[in-house]
Chains A and B, each alone.
Chain A
Amino acid sequence: MKEKQTCLQSASAQTATKRKNPLAQLIDRLYVLFDDKKVRYGVLAVAVVVLIYLPMKSSMYITEVMTTFWFHVVVCLGLNIIVGFAGLLSLGYAAFFAVGAYTTGIMILHYGISFWLTLPVSVLMAIIAGLAIGGPTLKLRSDYLAIVTLGFGEIIRLAARNLEITGRATGLVGIDRPTFFGIAMVRINHFYYAFLVLAIMAIFISYRLQDSRLGRAWKCIREDEDAAEAMGINVVAVRLLAFIIGSVFGALAGSFMAIKMTAISPESFLFTQSVMILLAVVLGGMGKIPGVILGAFAVVIFPEVFRGIGQYRMLIFGVVLLVLMIYRPQGLWPERHT
Chain B
Amino acid sequence: MVILEIKDLTLRFGGLTAVNKVSFGIEEGSIESLIGPNGAGKTSLFNCLTGFYRAQEGDILFEGKSVMKMKPHKITTLGMARTFQNLRLFKNLTVMENVMSGMHCRASAGVAGAILRPPTQRAEEKRIRDVALECMDFVGILDKKHRLAKNLPYGDQRRVEWARALATQPKLLLLDEPAAGLNYDEKMQLVELIRRIRDERKITVFLIEHDMGLVMKVSEKIFVIDYGTKIAEGTAQEVQNNPRVIEAYLGKEEETAV
Contacts and interface: CB of A to CB of B under 8 A. Distances in A.
Interface of A: 10, 13-14, 205, 208-209, 212-217, 219-220, 223-224, 226-235, 241, 245, 338
A235 B105 CA distance: 12
B140 to A, nearest CB: 21
Given A219-B97, A229-B72, A233-B105, A209 B82 contact: no
Contact of A224 (B76, B88, B109): B88
B97 A233 contact: no
Interface majority SS on B: helix, strand, loop or mixed?
helix
A217 B105 CA distance: 10
B90 A223 contact: yes
A13 B77 contact: no
Given A219-B93, A232-B104, 19 more contacts: A10-B150, A14-B151, A212-B114, A213-B114, A214-B109, A216-B97, A219-B90, A220-B90, A220-B93, A223-B91, A226-B52, A228-B90, A229-B52, A229-B71, A230-B82, A231-B168, A232-B76, A232-B105, A234-B71
A285 B126 CA distance: 30
Main secondary structure of the interface of A (DSSP, over half): helix
Nearest to A237: B73
Contacts of B113: 212-213
Contact of B92 (A205, A209, A213, A223): A223
Given A208-B115, A217-B101, A219-B97, A229 B73 contact: yes
B110 A214 contact: yes
Contacts of A217: 101, 104
Interface centre among A13, A215, A217, A233 (most CB of B within 10 A): A233
Interface in B56-77: 71-74, 76-77
A227 B88 contact: yes
B207 to A, nearest CB: 16
Most buried by B among A13, A208, A220: A220
A215 B151 contact: no
B156 to A, nearest CB: 15
A236 B88 CA distance: 19
A219 B104 CA distance: 12
A213 B151 contact: no
B4 interface: no
A219 B50 CA distance: 22
Question: Which 5 residue pairs of A and B lie closest in terms of their CB atoms, listed nearest first?
Answer: A232-B105, A212-B114, A232-B76, A223-B90, A227-B88
B84 A227 contact: yes
B146 interface: yes
A216 B132 CA distance: 14
Nearest to B106: A232
12 contacts: A214-B114, A216-B101, A216-B104, A220-B104, A226-B72, A230-B52, A230-B84, A232-B73, A232-B102, A234-B73, A245-B111, A338-B146
B114 A231 contact: no
A245 B97 CA distance: 23
Contacts of B114: 208-209, 212-215
A209 B91 CA distance: 21
A230 B50 contact: yes
Nearest to B170: A232
Contacts of A230: 50, 52, 72-73, 76, 81-82, 84, 88
Given A13-B151, A224-B88, A231 B102 contact: yes
Nearest to A238: B104
Contacts of A14: 151
A49 to B, nearest CB: 25
Residue among A13, A229, A232, A233 with the highest chain B CB neighbour number at 10 A = A232
Contacts of A235: 73
B57 to A, nearest CB: 24
B164 interface: yes
Contacts of B106: 232
B148 interface: yes
B128 interface: yes
A228 B111 contact: no
B100 interface: yes
A127 B91 CA distance: 33
B125 to A, nearest CB: 8
A232 B101 CA distance: 9
B89 interface: yes
Interface in B147-206: 148, 150-151, 164, 168
Contacts of B71: 229, 234
B105 A205 contact: no
Contact of A231 (B105, B110, B146): B105
Nearest to B92: A223
B176 to A, nearest CB: 11
A241 B111 contact: yes
B86 to A, nearest CB: 11
B249 to A, nearest CB: 30
A213 B91 CA distance: 18
Interface in B98-130: 100-102, 104-107, 109-111, 113-115, 117, 121, 124-125, 128
